[in-house]
Structure 1
């Protein structure tokens, strides 16, 4: 019986994979601008139809921008899901997109050249704009990164294949990931890790005035191995051009503090800088992720009356 269930699940996964490949072939026959527009259409439809996505988005935006009106929050929410959708869809032809140098602009070229010259360094990245685009930098410096497995193994293999064609070292998240990441970092590679997500095993921080947790991996490597530490984020503008920004993060290296305390302060410094970036480009971040568990609290009736009424009357 268990074998039958396993066979059926595997068959469903394979059918999903075939449907995606079929859709991809049809999709790639369209002009690039049309592909982006289709992505935006489905994003707006999802925001309007899927209550969970809409509630998470507006609650996060209300936390970050309490001064904004409902109409302003709605507009920001829609622009955000449109950006994320364009970033997701471009993965289908990311190699071709990045082959065109006109699609990829380094805003801080002098800083990047300095980093490459003096390297290696460590980079924290964000679920922001065209977040997969930094793989193009693998032609200029050795990169190692980490990806979470997809449930569907066929789709997971496809994603890995698409990413590793850029000559990066891609580690799949597992119990041995940290050791492998440190190994590659010690060998001179540049870790670039998405690090704006919640991590219950991480460190306590304050993010947009709300207490939460954050991963410590990149900060720990930067401190332990005396590496320069940077925030890298990619704005996907209205013309579908990726603008890569790099900002140096101040590391806490206070001899009177423990290593753990210095890591916590360094992570907090990074998130303070993230706040600045997100306020400048609020339409670029993935607000549809329940970062502060606000939607979870809303469903349990644990939010303040003000936030509760805000969702109900939105």
Structure 2
């Protein structure tokens, strides 16, 4: 036990040493250069095939296979296998799309939302959010090309304050922040005092974009694909505190290298007996929307993340026995960028 603990500490020190970080960053930059050389049309297909082949040998394959089987017990083994291979290909495509993001969004014209590589549905909601002088929240999921969402929003004059999780590698973290801010606008590292920046931004009437579909260790208990899990509570808590509209957004891959980005109207959020937004009910609503999106395009979701367990431990029986906070029908659509299961929480957010 002590030997294992010492080994883990030594490994952390080694990976955080300046020399190792520069070496890793150099390797990543070289790999990105190779992907860039393939071009925006060939690279996604090439990395998609590569990821689908390599994924079979990774431990996340077992997690994804188990998740898909539990979510779609009515599907045949062959159908579930197609979803699994598609999920790995989607992950590989995302890496290539990130490298070529500038090229992919280059022909976006707010005057012609359906004329280019990316067709945009819900333009009127982008414009309404931009012009209403109020704060707003846009949630999304790890579905399709989710990195595209804040970039497209910015092109429509709606910059988002985007939460993200910085890599441990400080060199890569700087590269990531520099590139993302050039494309997407303001970023906030979810692990470093994000609460205050989020609060200040919403007070100013800014807009927050975030991903909401990962396990959150202190989140609300909701039902997702028929199983209990803990979901990110940030959307509901912030909507309750700031009484602001909540929209969903998603970016879906279409045939022939095209994409469809959709922004929903503001949701009619559940309220409590005092008329205030019900934070827990809003969390359940958000996750029901995410489930609806995934059921439409299951091969484009990140099934490799274990959203139903944490460190191999199921939820306590008392929590697992609870039903969903609200029951709502799933709706299409989505957008945002990022927190993970350690999103910021404070007493202010818990209100």
TM-score bucket of the superposed structures, by smaller chain: 0.7 to 0.9
Tell whether the 8 Å contact from 2:164 to 2:188 is kept in structure 1 after alignment: yes
Q: How far apart are the structure 1 equivalents of 2:89 and 2:162?
A: 26
Question: Number of residues paired by the alignment?
Answer: 292
Residue 292 of structure 1 is matched in structure 2 by: 308
- The Cα shift of 1:295 comes to 9.0
Distance 1:297 1:220, change over 3 A: closer
Alpha-carbon RMSD? 2.3
CA distance in 1, matches of 2:81, 2:310: 17
Q: 1:23 aligns with which of 23, 31, 47?
A: 31
Q: Per the alignment, do residues 106 and 8 of structure 1 end up closer, same or farther by CA in structure 2, a change over 3 Å counting?
A: closer
Q: In 1, are the aligned partners of 2:221 and 2:231 still within 8 Å (CA)?
A: yes
CA gap of 1:157–1:41, structure 2 versus 1, over 3 A, is: same
Q: Give, in whole Å, the separation in 1 of the partners of 2:27 and 2:202.
A: 38
- Distance apart, 1:181 and its partner CA: 0.8
In structure 1, runs of 5+ residues without a counterpart are 299-314
Instruction: Pick which of 275-284 and 107-116 moved more.
Output: 107-116
Question: Residue 241 of structure 1: CA displacement?
Answer: 2.2
TM-score, scaled relative to structure 2: 0.77
SS of 2:222 mapped into structure 1: strand
Q: Report the Cα offset of residue 258 of structure 1.
A: 7.9
Q: Which moved more, 1:283-292 or 1:15-24?
A: 15-24
Greater CA deviation, 35-44 or 191-200? 35-44
SS at match of 2:139: strand
Matched-pair contact (CA < 8 Å) for 1:104–1:242: yes
The answer to whether 1:128 aligns with 2:143 is yes
Partner of 1:306: none
1:12 aligns to 2:26 (yes or no)? no
**How does 1:75-224 map onto structure 2 within 5 Å?**
75-101=82-108, 102-118=116-132, 119-136=134-151, 137-139=153-155, 140-166=157-183, 168-224=185-241
Per the TM alignment, residue 213 of structure 1 is displaced from its structure 2 partner at its CA by 0.5
Correspondence 1:4-83 to 2 at 5 A? 9-50=17-58, 52-83=59-90
Given that 1:64 and 1:208 are in contact with CA atoms closer than 8 Å, whether structure 2 keeps it comes out as yes
Whether 1:265 and 2:281 are equivalent positions in the alignment is: yes
Is 2:260 the partner of 1:249? no
- Residues 209-251 of structure 1, C-alpha deviation per residue, up to 9 Å, x if partnerless? 1111011112222222121111111112233322111224331
TM-score calculated relative to the size of structure 1: 0.86
**Compared with structure 1, are the counterparts of its residues 284 and 13 closer, same or farther at alpha carbon in structure 2 (3 Å cutoff)?**
same
Q: Find the residue that maps to 1:222 and give its secondary structure.
A: helix
Whole-Å separation in 1 of the counterparts to 2:16 and 2:208: 39
| Structure 2 Cα separation of the partners of residues 58 and 189 of structure 1 | 40
User: Could you say which residue in structure 2 is the equivalent of 1:304?
Assistant: none
In 1: Cα distance, 2:295 partner to 2:14 partner: 47
| C-alpha spacing 1:231/1:7, structure 2 compared with 1 (3 Å) | closer
Task: Identify, as 1 or 2, the structure richer in helix.
Answer: 1
Q: Name the residue aligned to 1:274.
A: 290
Pair 88,249 (structure 1): closer, same or farther in 2 beyond 3 Å:
farther
For 1:210 and 1:235, how far apart are their aligned partners in 2?
A: 25
SS at match of 2:257: coil
Tell me the alpha carbon deviations over residues 10-48 of structure 1, each in whole angstroms, 9 at most, x when there is no partner.
212111111222222233222322211221122112222
Unaligned runs of 5+ in 2: 1-9, 109-115, 315-351
In structure 2, how many angstroms separate the alpha carbons of the residues matched to 1:8 and 1:171?
A: 22
Q: 1:32/1:7 Cα in 2 relative to 1: closer, same or farther (>3 Å)? A: closer
Tell me, yes or no, if the aligned pair for 1:105 and 1:243 is still in contact at 8 Å: yes
